[in-house]
Amino acid sequence: MTQYDLVIRNGQTVTDKEQIKQDVGIKDGKIVTLGDIAEQGTREIDADGLLILPGGIDAHCHIEQKSSSGIMTADDFYSGSVSAAFGGTTTILPFAAQHRGQSLRQVVDEYMACAEPKAVIDYGFHLIISDASDDIIGQELPAMIEDGITSFKIYMTYDDLKLDDYEILNVLAAARREQAMVMIHAENHDVIRWITEKLLDQGCGAPRYHAIAHAQIAEKEATHRAIALAELLDTPMLVVHVSSEAALNEIRRAQERGLKIYGETCPQYLFLTIDDLDKDGMDGAMFCCSPPPRDKQSQEAIWSGLIDGSFTVFSSDHAPYRYDSSGKLSAGAEPTFDKIANGVPGIEIRMPLLFSAGVTQGRMDIHRFVEVTATNAAKTYGLYPKKGTIAVGSDADLGLWDPEKQVEIKADDLHDNMDYSPYEGMIATGWPITVISRGRIVVEENELKVERGSGQYLKRERPEAAKPLEKLVKEMNPETNFNAKFI
Ligand code: DUC
Ligand code: ZN
Ligand code: ZN
């Protein structure tokens, strides 16, 4: 009997560090051999001319999630995970979102029950914490972290989600103690509220005003403040969905000072601009997300942060709301911008569009592409080296990419449950033609090959990246337990 369930031959394996022409031998869902393999596998794939990349990890997506204003995403765990897989992603980390009044255990149990029978690829959860009461932070959160949900998102804006600075400090202190990763949505709530009121008073309610209300200064100020709070307690933190140069520069400055501050950006900040929100009628609603796409200069700045290492992860922030009364237009046919469901889809195009505009067009090398789409997410969220790399002992999660295949993005061809794509008509050069998760062929010849519910839940480790800095640990003031240099 053969030692291998699957052997992939003649391809070039690519990790964040190296590209090697070698065979990949897979057994029981794991990579067991890399190198020349003489023996036949039960199944063989000829990957001549293809790049074999680690399966992508989408570390920020909203699936089967009810927004704080009660609108359900268009994708459930089946359509969301299928769409991810067709775009080369083999692991998703969506959110289990707490609404105020809910216990974290109840929230996680509900999301687990939704995902388990439907997901076709592996998945874990970040929590969203909207209630930072002592019980939640002191007792429930540590229990959830112990159970493998080792990261959580908090918000500085939205009436029903926002934490104030005092609450953020409590959350950061808990994360520090438990060594979990804090993700933060950094926008100044009152700035957005104030501008929104003024705009609406003047009758400026069209979708494009969403981008004006969510001013860059609101993102910059909140990013600066969040970093200051994290520094006070010496707590690692990741700023999600960064859209502007000003916010990026806050992150850069923190990193230059040696702080463990990480950043994430997303396709909408590389491929869309404020002009997209200014389409005829309500069509701009299809591009409303927070923070919003900015101008061309910001796009270039965000590209530079992705290329130079300032950003750690590139995630989709897939937040799919259809362009109808179930989603974008749930508040009526012509809602003002503040009533438009916030978010854009992108789980399937995340990797192909970045591959095309980044690697094919020569902006970034392929190793950096692997780093930001897979390896760094695994490291940041406690999945490495099980996920995010190609190594003996790692899960056999792989995308076989044809670097020359051209695909025109069309909503009709994507596998999510959306009725539009913000990226309609864009051409991607480079596409994953075979996608493998734990040795199972999930996508081949443009067909789904696995059953619903065949994805597995990932109980995650405490991330190495969430450990406070040794240097700062020594500087902590023993009486106050905060960073002594601020006294
Ligand atoms: N934050 C997200 O992470 N996604 C969509 C909208 C938002 O505010
Ligand atoms: Zn957010
Ligand atoms: Zn999001």
* Candidate from 58, 60, 62 with most ligand 1 atoms within 8 A of CB, to mutate: 62
310 CA → ligand 1 middle, Å: 21
Phi/psi-derived region of residue 64, left when phi > 0, alpha when psi is between -120 and 50, beta in every other case: left
Q: What is the pTM of this model?
A: 0.97
What is residue 487's predicted lDDT score, i.e. its pLDDT? 60
| Integer Cα distance of 419 and 127 in angstroms | 28
Atom number of ligand 1 nearest to Cα 158: 8
**Cα gap 63→93, rounded to integer Å:** 9
Is the CB–ligand 1 distance for residue 318 below 6 Å?
no
Nearest to 35 by CA among 391, 279, 284, 326: 391
Per-residue model confidence (pLDDT) at position 60: 98
Is the backbone of residue 414 left (phi > 0), alpha (psi -120 to 50) or beta? beta
Largest CA distance in the chain: 76
Distance from the alpha carbon of residue 304 to the mean position of ligand 1, in angstroms: 23
Q: For residue 191, give both structure tokens.
A: 């700035």
| E strand or H helix that includes residue 97 | strand 89-97
For residue 327, report the distance from its CA to the centre of ligand 3, in Å. Answer: 15
Residues 6+ apart with CB under 8 A from 429: 356, 360, 403, 404, 405, 406
For the chain, residues with pLDDT lower than 70 are 1, 470-475, 478, 484, 486-487
Q: What is the pLDDT of residue 107?
A: 97
Q: Which of 160, 317, 340, 350 to mutate for ligand 1's pocket (most ligand atoms within 8 Å of CB)?
A: 317
Q: What is the pLDDT of residues 272-325, one digit of tens each?
A: 999 999 999 999 999 999 999 999 999 999 999 999 999 999 999 999 999 999
pLDDT computed for residue 482 by the predictor = 74
Q: Are 335 and 73 in contact (CB under 8 A)?
A: no
Is the beta carbon of 289 within 6 A of some atom in ligand 1? yes
Name the architecture of domain 56-380.
Alpha-Beta Barrel (3.20)
Residue 312 in contact with residue 380, Cβ under 8 Å? yes
Q: Can you give the pLDDT at residue 472?
A: 60
- Residue pointed to by tokens 């590139």: 314
- pLDDT value at position 236? 96
Return the residue whose CA atom lies nearest to atom 3 of ligand 1. 317
Q: How far apart are the first and last CA of the chain?
A: 68
Residue 471's pLDDT is 58
d(CA 323, CA 209): 18
Domain ranges of the chain: 56-380
| 111 CA → ligand 2 middle, Å | 19
Q: Is 342 in the pocket of ligand 1 (CB under 6 A)?
A: yes
